[in-house]
Structure 1
Amino acid sequence: MKMCAITTWPPHQDGISFYSAQLYDHIGRRIEVKVLANIINFTKRDSEVGNCKIVRCWRRGSIAYPFKIFREIMMEKPDVIHLQHGWFLYGDKISPLLFPLLLFILRLTRKPLIVTMHTVIGWKPRLYENAILNFIARVIILLLTRSIVNLSDKIIVHNNLMKRALIDFYSLHRDHWKIFVIPHGVKEKAKKCRGVSKEEGIKILSLGFLRKQKGIEYLIEAFKIFSTQYPKSTLIIVGGKHAHDDGEYIKLLKRRLLYENVKNVIFTGFIDEETLDKLIWESKIIVLPSLGSYYFEASGSLARVAMYGKPIVCSKVPKFKADLEDGKDCVMVEFNNPKKLADVLFLLVSDVNFRRKIGKNLGKKFRDRVWDKVAEQHINLFRDALIKN
């Protein structure tokens, strides 16, 4: 079986790009995978990465991207077509409106079309301050979402909460049979590094793209409170600018640190996997902030750290509520309240047994979601789509 995947690809820096690199490398161990990826300046058109062959044939933001992809698909002649969908994955402005057009012309190939939707936008989201703009955006999202489901043979989402939101909010009860849940793959824990530091001081780790909707400023405020009692503690913030952002938010955070003279907060930027593994092992607590209450999705950051047995503090938002249980495998807190967040940090530092319990429970919950098993679920779905096509 030959499968063509349509997605962004590293070094493009967005969550779906990193997700795709992991997923298709594992799928490529069992079937032939050709990835039709976004064009990035100074990269080769054709390359081979791990178990995938990459063809860079479309450019983000170009109105021609559906036709560029269609032309390449006609040349490749795959058995199955798997598309990744994010609201601005293919570009901003008019690009999201062209995704249903891409699906429509790909239907001419008469091959199974499977779409993974990474974000389901909740009912009545507050996307714009202007009420008229917000209403127009909601109508467009409603029409686009329904079109994507109708034009696809199968839809993949990452958790049951996403599936319920898709069916209920978009009146897709008649199409429930084509919506499947396959969890976000998780990384198996690396062996504990020999060089793991045992120096004095508590390390608190946060990781992921540094975006305004994360509310990292509240985490910094909470750390200021925490460090009054633990002055040798360190907050390590791993990650950098998302490809769809301008980077102003990160500059604002750093200026604020200088202005308020906050000590022991480190921004590492993007780091390699080995360094990140070392930081995870060294950290006493991992904090995953988010303010995205309207977005139903999965957390790539959670998937990266879940198997390490570390206690997780996270926001009370759908992406965490879908997979986690407060007090059992994480501690959930309202992130726009730094005092409450600081209190949770104090609790986890002081209660060793509770800290170990939630870390252990988290690892148990996610052990069946490793990338190899997630890849197998995708392949089974591809084969089923081929049989029914």
Structure 2
Amino acid sequence: MKIGIISSYLPIHCGIATYSSYLIEELRILKNRVYIVCHKGGKGIDCYPAFNYDDPDLPNKAFRTMMKFAPDVVHIQHEYGLFGEQRGMNIIPLVNKFKLSQIPTVITLHTVPKKRNYEEKIIEKVLVEITDATIVHQQYQRELIIGRVGYKDKIWVIPHGAREINPASNAKEKLGLENKKVVLLAGYFRRSKNFEQVVKIFPKVTEAVDDAFLLVASGARRPEDIAYKDEFLEFVANSSTKNKIKVLLGPFSKQKFDLILSSADVAVLPYLKGAQSGIMAHCLAFAKPIVVSSDVQAMADLVQKTRSGLVARTNSELAEAIITILTDKNLAKEFSDNARRHVKKRVSWQIIASRHMDVYNKILKNRLSSRGICN
């Protein structure tokens, strides 16, 4: 099958780019020819950078480039803001072009907010109506869309994939963290990720666990994120536990990021809002016990379903959850084993790619049936 993917792509530092790279790798293993049309800066096999984020001609450039390859199906990886101004409104004329050209089109909505602004309401409705299939990562997201837009037969739930990988055994030594119990905060700086909250409660953690050490691995891309990064670094500098906090500023190579993940005894995601998380998928891949905030339903549901960590509703519970995992070796091992089992049985990229093929084959079969063509 010839599959066209429209997405941000590596080496651009973006969670969607990383997600797409792992999915594409597995789709190619399944003997598909995959073409990537992406933002300028992307590189790779059959990768064609065609547009900038703020390009007013983005729909035409992406469409014309993709149509050169005569794809059997086009799959767009969507995130709000990824396709131009007004929350990425250029995605609307783009999907309409494929619709009018009778090209089967799939869209993955990586974020399905419970509360949407005006632009997001319009974009969500149009995308679900026009495309042949919509993929989301959580069942509650499917239910949200059905309640708001309908089209239940077109909405598929496919979880975020995760790698099957073994952590590096000497990671702490390489990072200068020997004999430390490492609490990890990782991912791009964003105010909604609430990283400072972990710094606030860290004195309570170190009172209970003397060798606890907070490792922060992050970076900033947008101007507003740079401002938050500077505030966060000042917050760390003023912390009473600043000697037990280390901040590594990215971007990181894949090898360095894997080393950082490998060093963690527990990973904390204290987010205030969001949906799926690439960082969470990485934590599951490396079988790291996770502590998440109850504010993000998708993450809380996944942690509880997989029994791979703890959910905290308050700051006090956040500190207690971290302390519990650092001091209860049996519980930490149970969480780790559960995470590893979940990846192997349910969300390895091999499984996720196979489920995508089910979607592609289904919509192609529907197209043939609607034209009266039988196999």
Residue 69 of structure 1: how far off its partner (Å): 1.1
Query: Which secondary structure state, in structure 2, belongs to the residue aligned with residue 187 of structure 1?
Result: coil
Q: How many residues align?
A: 359
Structure 2, unmatched stretches of 5+, are: 368-375
Residue 245 (structure 2) aligns with: 265
Structure 2 residue corresponding to 1:114, chosen from 102, 106, 110: 106
**1:72 partnered with 2:81:** no
Residue 353 (structure 1) aligns with: 330
Does structure 1 conserve the Cα–Cα contact (< 8 Å) formed by 2:209 and 2:323? no
Does structure 2 conserve the Cα–Cα contact (< 8 Å) formed by 1:324 and 1:330? yes
* Inter-partner Cα distance in structure 1 for 2:143 and 2:306: 24
Residue 191 of structure 1: how far off its partner (Å): 5.1
Over 3 Å counting, the alpha-carbon distance change for 1:244 and 1:2 in structure 2 is farther
CA deviation digits over 1:190-240, x for unaligned, max 9? 254356538322111121122100000101111122123444421111221
Does structure 1 conserve the Cα–Cα contact (< 8 Å) formed by 2:108 and 2:135? yes
Does structure 2 conserve the Cα–Cα contact (< 8 Å) formed by 1:286 and 1:312? yes
* Inter-partner Cα distance in structure 2 for 1:322 and 1:246: 27
Instruction: Look up the equivalent residue of 2:283 and give its one-letter code.
Output: V
Residue 15 (structure 1) aligns with: 15
CA deviation digits over 1:151-194, x for unaligned, max 9? 100111112121112112x141xx10000111111011225435
Residue 318 of structure 1: how far off its partner (Å): 1.5
Over 3 Å counting, the alpha-carbon distance change for 1:34 and 1:326 in structure 2 is closer
Taking structure 1 as the reference length, the TM-score comes to: 0.86
CA deviation digits over 1:35-85, x for unaligned, max 9? 001013xx7xxx5x3xx4100111111111001112112322111111111
Does structure 2 conserve the Cα–Cα contact (< 8 Å) formed by 1:333 and 1:340? yes
Residue 324 (structure 1) aligns with: 303
Residue 327 of structure 1: how far off its partner (Å): 9.6
* Inter-partner Cα distance in structure 2 for 1:217 and 1:196: 23
Instruction: Look up the equivalent residue of 1:342 and give its one-letter code.
Output: A
Structure 1, unmatched stretches of 5+, are: 126-136
Residue 131 (structure 1) aligns with: none
* Inter-partner Cα distance in structure 1 for 2:335 and 2:212: 22
Instruction: Look up the equivalent residue of 1:97 and give its one-letter code.
Output: M
* Inter-partner Cα distance in structure 1 for 2:191 and 2:244: 22
**1:285 partnered with 2:263:** no
Query: Which secondary structure state, in structure 2, belongs to the residue aligned with residue 325 of structure 1?
Result: helix
Does structure 1 conserve the Cα–Cα contact (< 8 Å) formed by 2:105 and 2:132? yes
> Structure 1 stretches (4+) deviating beyond 6 angstroms?
none
RMSD: 2.2
Residue 36 (structure 1) aligns with: 37
Instruction: Look up the equivalent residue of 2:39 and give its one-letter code.
Output: N
Structure 2 residue corresponding to 1:186, chosen from 148, 162, 166: 162
* Inter-partner Cα distance in structure 1 for 2:267 and 2:318: 12
Query: Which secondary structure state, in structure 2, belongs to the residue aligned with residue 180 of structure 1?
Result: strand
Over 3 Å counting, the alpha-carbon distance change for 1:382 and 1:171 in structure 2 is closer
* Inter-partner Cα distance in structure 2 for 1:69 and 1:276: 31
The answer to which of 258-267 and 309-318 deviates more is 258-267
Taking structure 2 as the reference length, the TM-score comes to: 0.89
* Inter-partner Cα distance in structure 2 for 1:162 and 1:193: 37
Structure 2 residue corresponding to 1:94, chosen from 86, 94, 103: 86
* Inter-partner Cα distance in structure 1 for 2:7 and 2:188: 19
* Inter-partner Cα distance in structure 1 for 2:19 and 2:364: 24
Q: How does 1:204-353 map onto structure 2 within 5 Å?
A: 204-243=183-222, 245-260=224-239, 262-270=242-250, 271-292=252-273, 295=274, 297-316=275-294, 317-325=296-304, 328-334=307-313, 337-353=314-330
* Inter-partner Cα distance in structure 2 for 1:106 and 1:250: 40
Does structure 1 conserve the Cα–Cα contact (< 8 Å) formed by 2:204 and 2:319? yes
Residue 244 of structure 1: how far off its partner (Å): 7.6
Aligned identity (percent) is 22
CA deviation digits over 1:93-125, x for unaligned, max 9? 3362221111111212211010011011104x5
Residue 152 (structure 2) aligns with: 176
* Inter-partner Cα distance in structure 2 for 1:327 and 1:365: 7
